[in-house]
Structure 1
């Protein structure tokens, strides 16, 4: 069909294909053998270069030297009184790093198992001559920076401290693993995936990711970062530079992936204002950090000032490395919790980020094993939520929690039996599940002192009812009494299941139903059947799904109706996942499903699932 497999990614199970037609994605989208298919998106760096000459490193220590606000900084000097860092590896996934820069050369990660320039994969990791990292953009072992962006980020993280020249990074001795996948024209998600996989494989527990794109959700990249979470990897990401709300319809990725190992970073200026270009989001962006007029290393033994959430991100990555060096036993989840729990609350980030605050290195490093007690007279938080369910979807709202103005974090967990969804942050959560059941919803809220409170409730979700009683016919077409109850609907683009929808041919659907089987039929062998009525101006067409899930024309006669599933032992609740993908023709369609006993009795829903399909 015009597609060739190029390579596969072990962490996510995805494959990179080369296609020769723009229609191949649409052709494969409805193939039941394929879980998802998506473009290999182009992503770009998120820094905005600026060559203005101004006093250096206000983000580390701000005395108002640039006309800003005193102490609008990360309190690095105070943190360094406790620790100046250690040899924690940070993967800088970016445009590469000038590993010869005098302020970086002593702090470069070195793959000691690889012999330089011998054109041999000495350590058998699949990469040749990867001494300082790897260049995935050019597919070689030399990750030298030719754009300056990655080198600039590296100086903020790990510029050599106390060496008498240039700048000082947040962690004076951190080791930079240079992973290049971006060039002057950007890079691809496929190469980003390989860079993340390399970082995890080679032992980096922290990565700094100052890159992204808007509305370019990649399931393969999501799965890769999720797999990194399972390996204890903290993924720190720039929120984006379009000045938009990542909680809205235009989201910056990868920062907006809803994963527990991501820290999404906004940019602040020297007066503790949210930078005019910075993306934000009360539930999608975690905190702010200095990102305007940031002075750092660039290629060619030089220094320059850049702007961007790209510059804010390495401040957070540096603090994560500083904290990890100071307290090596901390897990990646604990690193994130401490960084987010110790921010300086500032008005410009109130309601704009999860924490409402800007990074503070000193508080993070000085943070004890337990959260500080609340000030006297401060009420403990109380978790509370309401749930409005429709079909298999539910809107959860925690705005009844109190005191609302002091709550800085929300964690949702949804469980059913042994299944457990990852916690999701935000005052509100809208989610759709894939089957009827009783789910336990748990909400944990945390206030600005670190005190938390948890509440749980059970929630019953079910598909829309398709008539109290089903329609039954025997082999001869005579009506048969049945007490079976049918429920079902169609979900468009992952939304709620409804019994009546209007959608376009370009939108994906998920059609499913379930039968509360007549007690007299439970335990009998039956064929599951799915068919649809498609009226046209000249005739009514009938279609049925065969046992491969492929639509076939049907003459409407019961004896020719093919089985969708053969010889199924009927359970009291029989679930039927009918179709997932794209509809092929515009028009109006009524969908029916049910079961046919071995004696020929056909039991189907009396009220149809009605779908209007537009071009």
Structure 2
């Protein structure tokens, strides 16, 4: 019997070896000759999926995802659970429904914690914010505690004074433009006026004449519908800042019902992973789509790893700054319930309980889970002067030493290979950013069966999380640390000078903007993963 068992095991291994495990012999993509710097003119179809295209074949600095799938033809991957710690996910979106994680150990709607994991009816994930939507920034929460004479309080006060002034000025400008827009529409007797309409408008109104040159300039680069959308979003942003994010009298946590300063107070939240308002889940739904929206279905964009992932929704990021407690418990929830990759498209510059998050990162490392995180959108050097800016989460406790080898920080690039390659908004840093990935105008799912172009390092991070999930799906024996280094080592190095913060007079070599000086490349990553898996 023993010999027969051994024989069957060997036969099975040989059968598996002959079915989908053939060695990949393709050569990695490399920039062997200088690519002519140019501002890309994308077609409509390219724009919706440029991050999947190829720098050599298409002259677009995407991640070569399409070419990666060519390598994987005939190979069978396993399902990988990706935890999306974010603002919530619209799990009813048709392009995400097929990939939503289902906790099969839980019986939906029976009000019982069937799997004894501490969360009742957590069928698709958990909502650590309950019915809360808006929140203060962390610096406001610091100020609310009172002046304790600390450097943290002083820094928070200085930042608050700066931000409230900017928010008030921004709101005033938005209100000014919207008022002028209303008058112009009334005078022209039309809603969607054009540049030609404005040029022909002879108005006696001082406000209209003051704004008209600015509007002519704006409408020469976008249509009126897009302009209206941008202005509304700008007004909503500044209104939210003043009413919620920077409002010292606002308490967004009361509705949750827990003590956010007690990590052991864990019985809070609910199983509504979308959240109380569908639009509040736009950010998380978009992030989930970048990773997992269905490929090649002629709807929206394409997910990096859609055929091989399940999205576990963890709602922990409000409109405002996230609480360290929610992030720490959210990471632990994802780890404990089977996630092998976690995406964190959030961040802040003050943290009152950062140790809880550091402990959660180390916990994830111990459980072989990779965390991919956005570098931030302030267009600044996180390592200016050789130091480290206080941006959270990070994996280094604001020192030069990493606490764990399972954490990737991602900056954003645009589709313009040349001086404009670094996204205007993206943070960078020689030691505190690991790699870069597409993050400008990324097309993906948004709530209630819609799609939008959004941008930020928030979009670059899930692009990389998708590559990580693809690797873990086809090479499940590779560890989180190995996957991290495969992504870093297999990227395409770039040494051209690029604009910092969109300033053409402030340039630096792209090679100096991160640990690797590289753009993530899925094709190269699969080749290296295949090679490492055979060692």
- Paired residues in the alignment total 318
Alignment of 1:195-594 (within 5 A): 195-216=330-351, 218-247=354-383, 248-255=387-394, 257=396, 258=402, 259-272=404-417, 273-347=421-495, 348=498, 349-367=510-528, 370=531
**Cα distance, 1:256 vs structure 2:** 5.2
Corresponding residue for residue 155 of structure 1 = 289
- Indicate conservation of the 8 Å contact 1:147/1:184, yes or no: no
Structure number with higher relative contact order (C-alpha < 8 Å, ≥ 6 residues apart): 2
Q: Distance in 2 between matches of 1:282 and 1:249?
A: 10
Q: Distance in 1 between matches of 2:393 and 2:55?
A: 34
> CA distance change for structure 1 residues 111 and 188 in 2, over 3 Å: closer, same or farther?
same
- Indicate conservation of the 8 Å contact 1:83/1:322, yes or no: no
SS of corresponding position for 1:235: strand
- Indicate conservation of the 8 Å contact 2:471/2:529, yes or no: no
Corresponding residue for residue 61 of structure 2 = 72
Q: Distance in 2 between matches of 1:301 and 1:262?
A: 32
**Cα distance, 1:370 vs structure 2:** 5.0
**Cα distance, 1:64 vs structure 2:** 11
Unaligned runs of 5+ in 1: 1-51, 372-615
**Cα distance, 1:158 vs structure 2:** 0.8
Q: What are the Cα deviations for residues 544-602 of structure 1, in whole angstroms up to 9, with x where unaligned?
A: xxxxxxxxxxxxxxxxxxxxxxxxxxxxxxxxxxxxxxxxxxxxxxxxxxxxxxxxxxx
Higher mean displacement: 179-188 or 355-364:
179-188
- Indicate conservation of the 8 Å contact 1:86/1:171, yes or no: no
Q: Distance in 1 between matches of 2:522 and 2:357?
A: 30
- Indicate conservation of the 8 Å contact 1:239/1:256, yes or no: no
Aligned counterpart in structure 1 of residue 51 of structure 2, from 59, 76, 89:
59
**Cα distance, 1:62 vs structure 2:** 5.6
TM-score by length of 2: 0.57
> CA distance change for structure 1 residues 369 and 326 in 2, over 3 Å: closer, same or farther?
closer
- Indicate conservation of the 8 Å contact 2:316/2:326, yes or no: yes
SS of corresponding position for 2:364: helix
Q: What are the Cα deviations for residues 229-256 of structure 1, in whole angstroms up to 9, with x where unaligned?
A: 1111111110111112222452321135
**1:110 and 2:102 equivalent?**
yes
Q: Distance in 2 between matches of 1:98 and 1:147?
A: 6
Unaligned runs of 5+ in 2: 1-43, 131-268, 397-401, 499-509
- Indicate conservation of the 8 Å contact 2:84/2:314, yes or no: yes
Q: Distance in 2 between matches of 1:249 and 1:336?
A: 21
> CA distance change for structure 1 residues 339 and 63 in 2, over 3 Å: closer, same or farther?
closer
Q: RMSD over aligned Cα, in angstroms? A: 2.4
Q: Distance in 1 between matches of 2:476 and 2:488?
A: 18
**Cα distance, 1:183 vs structure 2:** 2.2
Q: Distance in 1 between matches of 2:336 and 2:281?
A: 26
Q: Distance in 2 between matches of 1:53 and 1:344?
A: 24
> CA distance change for structure 1 residues 251 and 244 in 2, over 3 Å: closer, same or farther?
farther
- Indicate conservation of the 8 Å contact 1:137/1:187, yes or no: no
**Cα distance, 1:165 vs structure 2:** 2.3
**Cα distance, 1:53 vs structure 2:** 11
Q: What are the Cα deviations for residues 393-452 of structure 1, in whole angstroms up to 9, with x where unaligned?
A: xxxxxxxxxxxxxxxxxxxxxxxxxxxxxxxxxxxxxxxxxxxxxxxxxxxxxxxxxxxx
Q: Distance in 2 between matches of 1:96 and 1:63?
A: 33
**1:82 and 2:71 equivalent?**
yes
Q: Distance in 1 between matches of 2:513 and 2:321?
A: 28
**Cα distance, 1:166 vs structure 2:** 2.3
Q: What are the Cα deviations for residues 365-393 of structure 1, in whole angstroms up to 9, with x where unaligned?
A: 1225557xxxxxxxxxxxxxxxxxxxxxx
SS of corresponding position for 1:200: helix
- Indicate conservation of the 8 Å contact 2:292/2:306, yes or no: yes
- Indicate conservation of the 8 Å contact 1:93/1:207, yes or no: yes
- Give 1 or 2 for the bigger CA radius of gyration: 1
- Indicate conservation of the 8 Å contact 2:300/2:443, yes or no: no
Aligned counterpart in structure 1 of residue 301 of structure 2, from 167, 170, 174:
167
> CA distance change for structure 1 residues 172 and 282 in 2, over 3 Å: closer, same or farther?
same
> CA distance change for structure 1 residues 64 and 364 in 2, over 3 Å: closer, same or farther?
closer
> CA distance change for structure 1 residues 333 and 271 in 2, over 3 Å: closer, same or farther?
same
SS of corresponding position for 2:297: coil
Q: Distance in 1 between matches of 2:328 and 2:303?
A: 27
SS of corresponding position for 2:440: coil
Q: Distance in 2 between matches of 1:338 and 1:109?
A: 26
> CA distance change for structure 1 residues 369 and 74 in 2, over 3 Å: closer, same or farther?
closer
> CA distance change for structure 1 residues 307 and 288 in 2, over 3 Å: closer, same or farther?
same
Q: Distance in 2 between matches of 1:198 and 1:249?
A: 29
**Cα distance, 1:162 vs structure 2:** 3.2
- Indicate conservation of the 8 Å contact 2:343/2:465, yes or no: yes
Aligned counterpart in structure 1 of residue 272 of structure 2, from 142, 166, 170:
142
TM-score by length of 1: 0.49
Q: What are the Cα deviations for residues 262-321 of structure 1, in whole angstroms up to 9, with x where unaligned?
A: 000000000241111111111111000000111110111000011110000001000000
Corresponding residue for residue 504 of structure 1 = none
- Indicate conservation of the 8 Å contact 2:410/2:436, yes or no: yes
**Cα distance, 1:58 vs structure 2:** 0.8
SS of corresponding position for 2:455: strand
SS of corresponding position for 1:340: helix
Q: Distance in 1 between matches of 2:66 and 2:85?
A: 27
- Indicate conservation of the 8 Å contact 2:124/2:273, yes or no: yes
**Cα distance, 1:179 vs structure 2:** 0.4
> CA distance change for structure 1 residues 292 and 332 in 2, over 3 Å: closer, same or farther?
same
